[in-house]
């Protein structure tokens, strides 16, 4: 694989980052994951706008303009012959001797790599996924896409040890979102998902899917729901750049609906993919 590190495209084994990089030492950085279909980035303008917002919230300098970043992403896709998969992009505050406050005169680091992945045809999309609940132990600014990801690492590991696919996070008796995706339930043909706030990541796929849902006449209600409501829902699903829409067929040992992907989840996946292509 060819990767990108601070101005250079090079084989992954030759890529180097300082051990003093603040991403490495403090998780002082932000990231984006964009999907690629038929060699083209999906909804990337929205991802770059969110990147800009994450950088602003952390008073971090942008490593390059949106147009420059897009050009680097496209070149990386071409160099790797990536048809379907993901581009991971990370910006950190740069490398400086360890000291908590912001360093002076340091350039931000920009790193990117691609991951080939089957996004259109996946067993999880066909069969649906099973999730467990875990406490949402994350910090108070989940709207910033920081690289500080220990809570989701532990949540996914807990799911994997329970032989399930993922975890939904619960705070104050309400579901916030999935470990790396937004969470939805469907009840009486209404799509219910938590409203945007600092408690969840403002998903790019969420935004696209909700507007497509409204376009086809489905009712969307942005409000929090309880774990019990989720288990009693007619359907459930998740969205993210790496999954698009995955139906959820089991929540904390309870089958959802008929225990197979529901019609609204399947339809939303279809219409999302259709407009993404």
Residues in touch with ligand PDD (CB under 6 A): 33, 177, 180-182, 201, 203-206, 239-242
**Residue 186 beta carbon to ligand PDD: minimum distance, rounded to whole angstroms:** 18
In the beta sheet, which residues pair with residue 114? 87
What values do phi and psi take at 54, rounded to 5?
-60, -45
Q: How many CB atoms lie within 10 A of CB 58?
A: 17
Give the residue with the Cβ less far from ligand PDD, 51 or 95.
51
Rounded to whole angstroms, what are the CA distances from 34 to 2, 70, 203? 17, 11, 11
Q: Give the active site residue among 59, 117, 127, 145.
A: 145
Are 226 and 175 in contact by the 8 Å Cβ rule? The answer is: yes
Residue 180 half-sphere exposure toward CB, CA atoms < 13 A = 22
Spatial distance between the Cα atoms of 172 and 152, rounded to a whole number of angstroms: 18
Q: Shortest Cβ distance from residue 188 to ligand PDD (Å)?
A: 25
Q: How far is the CB of 8 from ligand PDD (least distance, A)?
A: 24
- Choose between 80 and 239: whose C-beta lies nearer to ligand PDD: 239
CB neighbours of residue 262 within 10 Å:
21
Q: Which is nearer to ligand PDD, 2 or 239 (CB)?
A: 239
One DSSP character per residue, 218-239 reads -EEEE----HHHHHT-SEEEEE
Tokens of 268: 């939303």
Of 79 and 196, CB closest to ligand PDD: 196
CB of 34 to ligand PDD, least distance (A): 8
Spacing of C-alpha 222 from chain mean position: 19
| Cβ nearer to ligand PDD, comparing 141 with 187 | 141
**Nearest distance, CB of residue 152 and ligand PDD, angstroms:** 6
The answer to whether residue 145 is catalytic is yes
Please give the positions annotated as active site.
145
């Amino acid at each position: 694989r060819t990767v990108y590190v601070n101005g250079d495209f090079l084989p992954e084994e030759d890529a180097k980052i300082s051990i003093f990089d603040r991403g490495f030492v403090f998780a002082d950085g932000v990231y984006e994951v964009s999907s690629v279909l038929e060699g083209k980035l999906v909804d990337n303008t929205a991802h770059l706008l969110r990147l800009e917002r994450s950088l602003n919230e952390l008073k971090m300098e942008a490593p390059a303009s949106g147009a420059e970043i897009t050009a680097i992403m496209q070149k990386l896709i071409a160099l790797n012959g990536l048809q379907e998969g993901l581009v991971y992009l990370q910006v950190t505050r740069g490398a400086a001797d360890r000291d908590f406050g912001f360093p002076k005169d340091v350039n931000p680091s920009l790193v990117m790599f691609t991951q080939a992945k089957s996004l259109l045809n996946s067993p999880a999309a066909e069969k649906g996924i099973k999730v467990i609940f875990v406490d949402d132990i994350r910090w108070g600014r989940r709207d910033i896409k920081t690289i500080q990801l220990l809570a989701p690492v532990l949540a996914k590991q807990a799911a994997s040890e329970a032989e399930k696919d993922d975890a939904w996070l619960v705070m104050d008796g309400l579901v916030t979102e999935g470990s790396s995706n937004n969470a939805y339930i469907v009840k009486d043909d209404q799509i219910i998902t938590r409203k945007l706030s600092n408690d969840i990541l403002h998903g790019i796929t969420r935004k696209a899917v909700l507007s497509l849902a409204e376009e086809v006449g489905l009712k969307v209600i942005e409000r929090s729901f309880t774990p019990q409501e989720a288990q009693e829902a007619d359907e459930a699903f998740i969205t993210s750049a790496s999954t698009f829409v995955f139906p959820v067929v089991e929540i904390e040992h309870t089958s959802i609906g008929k225990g197979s992907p529901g019609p609204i989840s399947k339809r939303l996946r279809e219409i999302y993919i259709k407009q993404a292509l």
